[in-house]
Structure 1
Amino acid sequence: MIEKEENLRSEAVRISALLMAISARTAPKSKGIDDLEIVYVSGEDKDRIADKMIELAKEKGEGWKRDGESLKKAEGILVIGVKGDKSLGLNCSACGFRDCKEFENAVRVKGDYDGPNCVFKILDLGIALGSAVKLASIINVDNRIIYRIGVVAKMLGIVKSTVALGIPLACTGKNPFFDRK
């Protein structure tokens, strides 16, 4: 059998996303407590996110359209989020509250993300994202961490995390996620 590379791209990106998900999942977590949510999105659901981002540009600005258009060039998206509304009981005050009890009893605010969030859960998210994109870099998969993708994935109910970011993935001759105007 002979297969051309361009016919293998979707499968290659999907396999890359699965490996990136493992990298994110096994990244170190504060106190060893794992509150990550990891989802792979492709096909019509990916396009639904891109279309919603473009639609939101009317109220949120042209960056939403730019990122939505670049997302249309992706084969898939890895969305990584965290449930940051759980405290670790460290009473560190980094969240802005005196102690974890005050944090846990705080009024929750809804916006692009839900807050407040435990700073250690946000650090866990950052480490997981870094682990995932490092692997993507090693295996030469086009990628970029994009805030707006996570916001829309959350808005559309694709993820339930308090904070989420998206990593669009492609394998092209030139990374489609870095030419920004």
Structure 2
Amino acid sequence: MKEKSMRKTVSDLIKIAAENSPKISEDDIELVSLDDAEKEMLVEEMYQLSDEFDDESYSEEGESIETSDKIFLIGLEDHEPLDIDCRACGFESCKDFQDAEEKEKIFKGPNCVFKILDLGMSLGYAWTTSEMHKVKPDISIKGGLAAVHLGLSETRICLAMTIKTGSN
């Protein structure tokens, strides 16, 4: 029972770290902690996508997710650009970025580069907090894709972060 309580505490600390990471502007980061039923749905989706795309890496990442202690979905919500016309997104101006046709292949785009940096900082804070507490973190791009596909996240870009305790 004590170990379960400690895992919950560490999970809470990871969530707090990700939510309170520095942001360049408004907070457009979504953080979702999956329950056991959602985890099971995600794993099943990973196996189905492996068959659908004939890509064994979905099954491999699904197995890793299945054996994890906790899963977080960290994603970038719909957002406005910063209106600084930096061109890092590939558009001449932030207005051109806003007027661009939205495209979706795996994730939705275009996205403001600074908002993607916010996502990276949230992931970094979560990762560091996990390691500080001797919990093994892992990041799954395909887990994030499967979560969006299932509707567990409605973000533009989503990554699944798993944590594991115990020996390898």
TM category, shorter:
over 0.9
Separation in structure 1 between the aligned mates of residue 15 and residue 159 of structure 2, nearest angstrom = 13
Q: Tell me which residue corresponds to 1:44.
A: 37
1:13: Cα distance to partner? 3.0
Alignment of 1:57 with 2:36, yes or no, is no
**Alignment map for 1:152-171 (pairs within 5 Å):** 152-171=146-165
Give the drift of 1:73: 0.4
| Distance in 1 separating the partners of 2:81 and 2:91 | 11
Aligned to 1:119: 113
What is the CA–CA distance in structure 2 between the aligned matches of 1:14 and 1:108, rounded to whole Å? Answer: 38
Mind listing any 5+ residue stretches in structure 1 that lack a counterpart?
175-181
Aligned AA for 2:160?
G
Q: In the TM superposition, what is the alpha-carbon distance from 1:56 to its structure 2 partner?
A: 0.7
1:120, 1:148 → 2: CA distance?
Answer: 23
Structural RMSD (CA): 1.4
SS in 2 for 1:144: strand
Pair 1:82-2:66 in alignment: no
What is the deviation of 1:111? Answer: 2.1
Is residue 28–residue 79 contact of structure 2 (8 Å, CA) maintained in 1?
A: no
Query: Cα deviation per residue 1:41-99 (whole Å; 9 max; x = unaligned)?
Result: 03111011011111111215111110001111012201111125421111111111000
Q: Is the 8 A contact 1:85 1:104 kept in 2?
A: no
List alignment gaps of at least 5 residues for structure 2: none
Q: 1:42–1:20: structure 2 CA closer, same or farther, 3 Å change rule?
A: same
Q: Look up the equivalent residue of 1:40 and give its one-letter code.
A: S
Give the structure-2-normalised TM-score.
0.93
- 1:19 equivalent among 13, 21, 25: 13
Runs of 4+ in structure 1 off by over 4 angstroms are none
Shift of residue 143, structure 1, vs aligned partner = 1.4
> Following the alignment from structure 2 to structure 1, what is the Cα–Cα distance between the partners of residues 35 and 49?
20
- Larger mean CA deviation between 53-62 and 125-134 belongs to 53-62
> SS state of the match for residue 107, structure 1?
coil
Normalized against structure 1, the TM-score is what?
Answer: 0.87
When the two structures are aligned, how many residues end up with a matched partner? 167
SS of aligned partner of 1:30: coil
Supply the AA of the counterpart residue of 2:40.
D
Q: Which residue of 1 aligns with 2:166?
A: 172
Identity, in percent, stands at 31
Note if contact 1:115-1:162 (Cα within 8 Å) is conserved in structure 2.
yes
- Three-state SS of the structure 2 residue aligned to 1:68 is helix
